[in-house]
Amino acid sequence: MILDVQGATKRFGGLLAVDAASFTVAKSSITGLIGPNGAGKTTLFAMIAGFETPTAGRVIFDGRDVTGRTAHLLARDGLARTFQIVQPFAGLSVRENIAVGAFLRHPRRADALAAADAVATRVGLAPMLDKQASSLTVAGRKRLELARALATEPRLILLDEVLAGLNPSEIRDIIPVIRGIRDGGVTVLMIEHVMQAVMNLCEAVHVLAQGRIIAAGSPAAVVRDPAVIEAYLGRGAAQKLAANG
């Protein structure tokens, strides 16, 4: 087990964004975190990755309590994340953008640039290394966001809707990239709304609704869970589907 989230809770004033969420992520797995919009998924990611401090609960990363540890220190520990809204350094080339992440492990510029080239190859950006980041398509920017996080050489990477905004062929093309990241020794925890990809990639899925984990298991089991159907489709949906089935 590489990640153990225990009762993670986050309040913003009177708003309870995440309510005692607990789940684990197995080492060398691809694990999904799904749920309706506004469920608290990105806030939960922010607590795990050190961008927010939990109001209560603990985050255990690779056997060590890292609750409240800041993002830059967690990056050194081997935990990286991507962001739902992709914001590359528009004035830099693709290679230079990736090198920003690589400098964490490679202080010499030449070494960081070489590491950036290697990461670009892994995510399918090698032909675009000399292009300005601002010239990339949405799919290219998503790959660049993934590459910048990978360049920090994490052991656990949190992917926040890395497939959002992509068309079906772009999704099909990036699925092997994500699987290749796991096969290369990096554990993946991903927030995703594209259920086809979740079913295809994830060995385990946790479902967050109104800040609470309401279901967990294999993708096939989770999508049949009445509580999950209710969370996505509303009260009475599970019974209606069963009646129509």
Asked if 184 and 118 count as a contact pair (C-beta separation under 8 A), the reply is: no
Tens digits of per-residue pLDDT, 7-54?
Answer: 999 999 999 999 999 999 999 999 999 988 888 999 999 999 999 999
Q: What is the mean pLDDT of the chain?
A: 91
List, in sequence order, every beta strand (DSSP E) within the chain.
3-12, 15-25, 30-34, 56-61, 64-65, 79-81, 156-160, 187-191, 204-209, 212-217
Residue type, 4: D
If one compares 149 and 225, the residue with the highest pLDDT of the two is 149
Confirm if 144 and 133 have CB atoms less than 8 A apart.
Answer: yes
Enter the DSSP assignment of 210.
Answer: T
Is the distance from CB of 142 to CB of 174 less than 8 angstroms?
yes
The domains found in the chain, sorted by start residue, are: 3-89+154-244 (3.40.50.300)
Burial status of residue 213 (CB atoms within 10 A of its CB: 0-12, 13-18, 19 or more) = buried
Q: At what angle do helices 94-102 and 138-150 cross, to 10 degrees?
A: 30
Q: Which pLDDT does position 235 carry in this prediction?
A: 60
pLDDT value, residue 241: 47
Alpha-carbon torsion (126, 89, 79, 26), positive or negative: negative
Instruction: Please state, in angstroms and rounded to a whole number, the distance separating the CA atoms of residues 47 and 30.
Output: 19
